[in-house]
Structure formats: structure tokens, C-alpha cells
Amino acid sequence: MSNCKVIALCNQKGGVGKTTTAVNLGIGLANQGKKVLLVDADAQASLTLSLGYQKPDDMSENISSVMQMIIDDKSIPPNYAILHHPEGVDLLPSNIELAGMEVRLINTMSRENVLKTYLNTVKQNYDYVIIDCMPSLGMLTVNALMAADSVIIPSQPHFLSVKGLEMLMWTILKVKKQLSPNLKIDGILLTMVDRRTTFTKEIIDRMHQIYNENIKIFKAEIPLSIKAVETSAEGKSIFLHDKSGKVAQAYEKLTKEVLSDGEQKRSKNRDAFGAR
């Protein structure tokens, strides 16, 4: 059994910090000595761009070509399409070609499992795979959920973001019930938090009331900061851009929470294996 944990960062609402979290959680884990693969599952290629690859549409090897090879039942060469980032993570990039994959998947056998089939061929090389999902609940997001062991939901403490969580939870539970019974929600990650406002505090309190009994809300809160936005333009993590800042401290805290959750999973797997 592989000890790799596959985490999907998912929210159908855009602009909630999914990509920023993918970059900084992935590099945070790499800084702790973990082998990490970041997967850009969005045709907008935000993750690819945020890691400094400025011309994703010029890349012939990408997540779309990988998925097409799986659909065509072609063997994928070792390290095909994998980019090695200077901060110690690997990346499966994306580009505009992925926009056409949603349509191609409609007539594909086992269409929900294409990405999972690919990741099963490479995840033995990694401790963590983090998938940055597109802001929709279509077939590509279902592919990400099928490939994942668990989901982290980045969400702003705003009224519309909280309302959008209801639809996302319904989709995740539907995938869990019908397709992937072992899928778990690791928790809700509050992003772009500005606790100076009473309204934000009220929304956060409301989220704890609604979800905290059944779904973890991470103790780490990612504060609202221009520093986090600047990292995307520079192609580097917050740990290089502003190492001592509050955003870097928040992502370091999140990294430790995710590592703790991952260790608990590995411990359960060892116990289950030993009990046989």
C-alpha cells in the first residue's frame, strides 16, 4: 500500500485562495522533507503560472496530454510532463488544452477515473499529491475527487462563500456515496481573513456553528495580505517572498496540521495491516 496522500483543493467559487494554498502547502510540505507533486487541474493554468512558468500554452506535455494518453491506453514514459521547481516540488502543468478535456471525457469509458489511473502510476514516488481543482463542479473536478484521498476546502469568510459551500458539500458527498466511499474531507481552510471587521468574525462564528461538529475547520487561518498576491507574479512561495510574515506563519501552521493528519492516516494503515 502506498503511503502517498492525495489531497484535492476544491471550491467551485473562484478567488478563494485555492492556487495560493496549493503552492504554499506543497512547498511547505517539501520544506519538511516530503516529496510533493502539485497537479494543475485548471485550464486557466493558475498554478503553473504561480510557480513561474509564464508560457503554459507552449507546453506540449501537460495534464491534458497525460489524460489523453490514459484515454487512448498508451503507456506514459517515466517523468513525462513532470516539471521540477527550484523550491523542491514537482509540477504536472496545465494549459488551455484542458478546456477541451471536459467534452472528451463524456464519451470515455470509466471517465471519472482517468486522472486517478494516471496518479496511480506515479504516486509511489511521492509522499503527497496536491490537486488544484478548477472553480467548477464538472467532470474534471469529479476526476480530482475520485483521485483524492481527501479534500481541503479553501473558503473566504464571506456570505456568498458560505452559501456556496452547501453545493460543494453536496457534490463531495454524492461522489463519496456513489463512487468513492473512502473520500474524506480534511477540513475547511479559512482564507483572506480580516478579523478587524465584526462581520468577518460573525461569519466565522457561524461557520463553526454549522460545520464544526462534522467537518474540521483548520486552526490555521490565512490572513488577508497583499504579500500572498505578490507571490503569484514572482513564481515563488510565500516562504521565499516574505519568510517572517504573517502569511508564511499561517501556511507553516497549516502544513503542520496537514502533516499531523497524514501521520494519523499512516498510523491507522499500519495498525490495520498489522491486525490482519
> What is the per-residue pLDDT across 121-174, written as a single tens digit (0 to 9) for each?
999 999 999 999 998 888 999 999 999 999 999 998 887 777 778 888 888 999
Find residue 128's DSSP bridge partners: 5, 36
Assess whether pLDDT exceeds 70 at residue 11: yes
Q: Is 209 exposed, middle or buried (0-12, 13-18, 19+ CB in 10 A)?
A: exposed
Where residue 266 falls among pLDDT bands split at 50, 70, 90? Answer: low
- The CATH number of residue 225's host domain is 3.40.50.300
Q: Which pTM was predicted?
A: 0.92
What span, in angstroms and rounded, lies between the C-alpha atoms of 129 and 132? 10
Nearest Cα to Cα of residue 20 among 53, 46, 57:
46
- The parent domain of residue 137 ranges over 5-275
Better pLDDT: 2 or 275: 2
* pLDDT for the residue 239: 93
How many domains does the chain contain in total? 1
Residue 216 grid cell: 474540521
Number of CB atoms found within 10 A of residue 232's CB = 18
pLDDT at 275 over 90: no
The rounded mean pLDDT for the chain is 90
3-state secondary structure of 233: helix
**Predicted local distance difference test score (pLDDT) of residue 274:** 59
Give residue 44's pLDDT: 94
Task: Give residue-wise pLDDT tens across range 200-246.
Answer: 889 899 888 888 788 999 999 999 988 877 888 888 899 998 888 99
At 86 the pLDDT is 95
DSSP symbol at 216? -
At 162 the pLDDT is: 72
Closest CA to 8 of 134, 112, 98: 134
More confident residue, 22 or 209: 22
Which DSSP state fits 100?
G
C-alpha to C-alpha distance for 33 and 259, rounded to whole angstroms: 11
Q: Which residues of 99-117 are buried (b: 16+ CB within 10 A; e: fewer)?
A: eebbeebeebeeebbbbbb
pLDDT in tens, 88-132: 999 999 999 999 998 899 888 889 999 999 999 999 999 999 999
pLDDT score of 267: 61
Strands, E assignment, the chain: 5-9, 36-41, 83-84, 90-92, 128-133, 150-155, 184-193, 217-223
Please check the confidence at residue 198 and state whether its pLDDT lies above 90. Answer: no
Q: Which one has a higher pLDDT value, 45 or 242?
A: 45
Instruction: Say if residue 69's pLDDT is above 80.
Output: yes
